[in-house]
Chain A
Amino acid sequence: MTDVGNVQAGAVGTPPVTVRPPQVVPLKGLPIVAAVVAFVIAAIAGNWLWALTFCHVAGGALWTAIDLFVGLVVGPIIARLSLPARAEFAARFMPKMVLLMPTLVLMTLAAGFQLALTLGNLSTASPNHGWLVASYCVVGVMAVIALGVLEPANIAVLFEMRKPEPDGAVIARLMRRFVVTAGVTGVMQVATLIIMTRVATQ
């Protein structure tokens, strides 16, 4: 019988696998997050055009690419894995996502809003105004899904896996939620790509 931190799998003849996430939030990553946040604050405070553009483009590219890759490539693969394999993947993958994604989202949105203001794209007279409002709506839907559904499921999985006897049914339910919501946000990122390339070429 395979188990991941005692997750019962029912597979016969495979060696036991015991993987528990050492930390829910990887503490070693916090200084990097703090540095990124400080950089974004400095960029906004100084209206530093290059830094705002860098934060928005680099953060947005990573956010979009990771969402698309996780939602449309990794998610369907996870959905077909055995429960122990899903649990082992989650134990290594989700702690990183807990730090990475909120940081990228904060970096992209904060810098993007300031950049749009600085470049005059927020003005109703700008041809980009309508596209930007559309992007707010797309981001708003993604934010509610990510903050209200996906992130709580991520963190609950990590806490479940740190128990002496994790409940496989709980992990399976939460991972299903993760896979579905990651897919939805991945598809919505296609809309973001269309909107942002329109904004850049108007």
Chain B
Amino acid sequence: MSAGPAATAPPAISRRFPPVAELATVSLALVVVGGILMASYAPRRPPLGVPTALAVAGAVLLLAGGYLTARARPLAWDRFFLVFRWALLAYVISAGMIAFAFVKDHVRGAPLALVLVLLVIYALDVPLVIAFTVARYSSPAGHA
């Protein structure tokens, strides 16, 4: 859906948007399952096949969500970035704390790398869902 800056947008509740929040939430669910699988083996070294597949699937869904967000029109981009950057700060701190616990517990090598990948996806998924949910109900600049 596209509109010129002077056009009047339909009410926020009736505007149609791509399923960005749904994709990011499924991506989040996949990385949570990957994290649970790895944590269930602690303190032993976990098998990495399934968690790796889940991380890849989560990353693909996150990228798809990002791509669809970039194409969403009209979207309140100022509101999106405002919320995204603050949520990102909060969830980077949260992910950093989880990473700290794994490093502290001597997780090293490939398992640590995979945990970090899962945490990066987690730290991007949640801000994306929050920012997109806020922006989809906000009026884009130039619209009523």
Interface residues of A, Cβ cutoff 8 Å to B = 25, 37, 40-41, 44-45, 102, 106, 110, 113-114, 117, 122-124, 133, 136-137, 140, 143-144, 147-149, 151-153, 155-156, 159-160, 163, 167, 169-170, 173-174
How far apart sit A159 and B129, CA to CA, in the bound complex (Å)? 15
Is B12 part of the contact surface with A, judged by Cβ < 8 Å?
A: yes
- Shortest B94–chain A CB gap in Å is 6
- Least CB distance from B90 to A in Å reads 7
- 27 A-B pairs within 8 Å (CB atoms) are namely A44-B101, A106-B97, A110-B101, A113-B39, A114-B104, A114-B105, A117-B43, A136-B36, A136-B40, A137-B36, A140-B29, A140-B33, A140-B36, A143-B32, A147-B129, A148-B25, A148-B28, A148-B125, A149-B25, A151-B126, A152-B132, A152-B134, A153-B133, A155-B133, A159-B137, A169-B11, A170-B137
Bound-state CA distance A152–B43 (Å) is 34
Contact B134 A156 (CB under 8 A): yes
With A136-B39, A170-B137: A151-B130 Cβ-Cβ less than 8 Å: yes
* Contact of B134 with A159 in the complex, beta carbons under 8 Å: yes
Indicate which residue in A44, A123, A174 contacts B100 across the interface (CB closer than 8 Å): A44
* Residues of chain B at the chain A interface (Cβ within 8 Å): 11-13, 21, 24-25, 28-29, 32-33, 35-36, 39-40, 42-44, 79, 83, 86, 90, 93-94, 97-98, 100-101, 104-105, 125-126, 129-130, 132-134, 137-139
Given known pairs A117-B42, A122-B42, A136-B39, the reply for A167 and B137 (CB within 8 Å) is yes
Cα separation A155 to B125 with both chains bound (whole Å): 16
Bound-complex Cα distance A113 to B101 (A): 9
B136 nearest in chain A by CB position: A156
Q: Is the interface of B mostly helix, strand, loop or mixed?
A: helix
Query: Using Cβ atoms and an 8 Å threshold, which residues of chain A touch B12?
Result: 167, 170
Q: Are B24 and A148 in contact (CB under 8 A)?
A: yes
Least distance between B22 CB and chain A CB atoms (Å):
9
Q: In the complex, what residue of chain B is closest to A154 when comparing beta carbons?
A: B130
User: Beyond A133-B40, A170-B12, is A110–B130 a contact (Cβ under 8 Å)?
Assistant: no
From A166, which residue of chain B is reached at the shortest CB distance?
B137
**Interchain CA distance A143-B35 in the complex, whole Å:** 12
Known: A44-B101, A148-B129, A167-B13. A123 touches B43 (CB 8 A): yes
Contacting residues, chain B, for A140 (C-beta < 8 A): 29, 32-33, 35-36
B35 CB to nearest chain A CB (Å): 8
